[in-house]
Amino acid sequence: MEVSRARDYVYSDTELDQSESKVIEELKAGATEPFVDPDAWLDEELSQNILLTTADWLINWGRRSSLWPVICFPACCAFEFISVMGPRFDMSRFGMEILRASPRQADVLITAGTLTWKMAPNVKRIYNQMAEPKWVIAMGACGISGGIFRSSYNVVPGYNHIIPVDVYVPGCPPRPEALLHGIQMLQEKIAKRTNIIKE
Amino acid sequence: MTTSLSTREIAGQISERLPDAVIDAADAAILVNSNSLLDVGAFLKNTPGLDFDYLTTITAVDYYQYFEVIYQFVSIEHNHSLVIKTRCQGRDNLTLPSLVGLWRSADHQEREIYDLMGITFEGHPNMKRIVLWSDFQGHPQRKDFM
């Protein structure tokens, strides 16, 4: 039986090399000068990117849009807070995607749980370590008033007995939507701050 | 499943060795004299066949006239368990012998009972409050605490 040679049915190496060489030489001949960068839009956009505002508004915008909470999870409200942090309710939509373990890097303390007198000095110390400006959201019945444990021998009847509170979010525990509403109320409060005082 | 041993049988064994120790042997627990609690503990821990090598829980109950302290023992080796109770009368200057020397797990539980019920365990190496702060007045789990 006669066997046909494979070389008859494929491109010859010589032909392939010749056509590749031709493509490269043509591209190289046409590419002597670089393309001009498309920067004609710069002048047009620059005029649209300048806006006039007050320094107060700018500072408050920066502060309210990147509120970083410090970890303060003494009890069960923490789980509602954790779900607010998670993807379903997604607190990062409001600029709060980072939960700081260090109070020195945090802006807001969310009191997610019952506070005992044994723990109270530590919470006060965490609050004192936070850099100004700082805010506190009292989350849940225990955070507001001690809740059902108010008459206990070892429960602080509301965080406002040891630290100043800006926003109260009621509920036992509050729904995640309620906490988000409280955070938005805090942002509205921050937006009204006066930072620069005229002399 | 851990088998609970017959209280009357064990009470008989304890009485042979320590005649004054057992006050009563009910279905659920053996009530022992608080003065012989340490001896009973050593007997339960060291007697071959009993070998209670694990003290799981200590709890205390306020019955107004007296406080009852309940010890739950388990032998991991033989997979059986036993409950021992003891009482201290009155409401002031209550003391019981500490079992920390026999079972290390008694340490925190005896401190908690001291903190919340006000029973002092003699021989405990660190007899101070565990949940509340040291200046706290009273013992909150007592029924007359207001």
Domain ranges, ordered by start, for chain B? 3-89
For A130-146, write each residue's pLDDT tens digit. Answer: 998 899 999 999 999 98
Please tell me the predicted confidence (pLDDT) of residue A47: 66
**Contact residues, chain A to chain B, C-beta under 8 Å:** 117-118, 153-154
Q: Is residue A168 part of a domain?
A: yes
Q: For B3-89, CATH number?
A: 3.30.460.80
Of B95, B38, B94, B35, the C-alpha closest to B71 is B38
The neighbouring-strand residues paired with A168 are A138
Say whether pLDDT at B73 is over 60. Answer: yes
Residue A12's pLDDT band, with cuts at 50, 70 and 90, is: low
Q: Confirm if B34 and B88 have CB atoms less than 8 A apart.
A: yes
The helix/strand/coil state of A111 is strand
By Cβ distance, the residue of B132, B140, B145 closest to A118 is B132
Q: Do A118 and B140 touch (CB under 8 A)?
A: no
Q: Is residue A34 part of a domain?
A: no
Q: Is residue A56 part of a domain?
A: no
Mean pLDDT of A8-24: 71
| Complex ipTM value | 0.72
Q: Which residue has the higher pLDDT, A131 or A5?
A: A131
What is the percent of chain A where pLDDT is above 90?
A: 42
The CATH number of the domain holding residue A176 is 3.40.50.12280
Please tell me the predicted confidence (pLDDT) of residue A101: 87
A185 backbone dihedrals φ, ψ, rounded to 5°: -65, -40
**CA–CA min distance A190, chain B (Å):** 38
Of B63, B82, B61, B67, the C-alpha closest to B3 is B82
Please tell me the predicted confidence (pLDDT) of residue B91: 86
Is the peptide bond preceding residue A173 cis, with omega within 30 degrees of 0? Answer: yes
Residue B86's pLDDT band, with cuts at 50, 70 and 90, is: very high
**CA–CA min distance A164, chain B (Å):** 24
Please tell me the predicted confidence (pLDDT) of residue A97: 74
Burial class of residue B70 (count of CB atoms within 10 Å of its CB; 0-12, 13-18, 19+)? middle
Please tell me the predicted confidence (pLDDT) of residue A11: 53
**CA–CA min distance A118, chain B (Å):** 7
Q: Is residue A144 part of a domain?
A: yes
DSSP H or E run through B94 = strand B94-97
| B140 touching chain A per CB within 8 A | yes
Of A151, A103, A168, A130, the C-alpha closest to A159 is A168
Q: Which of A8-12, A25-29, A36-40, A102-106 has the lowest mean pLDDT?
A: A8-12
For B127-138, write each residue's pLDDT tens digit. Answer: 889 988 888 888
Residue B116: closest C-alpha in chain A: A153
Please tell me the predicted confidence (pLDDT) of residue B24: 85
Residue B132: closest C-alpha in chain A: A118
Say whether pLDDT at A71 is over 90. Answer: no
| B129 touching chain A per CB within 8 A | no
Q: Is residue A38 part of a domain?
A: no
Mean pLDDT of B48-57: 91
Domain membership of residue A77 as a residue range = 73-191
Say whether pLDDT at B105 is over 60. Answer: yes
Counted domains in chain A = 1
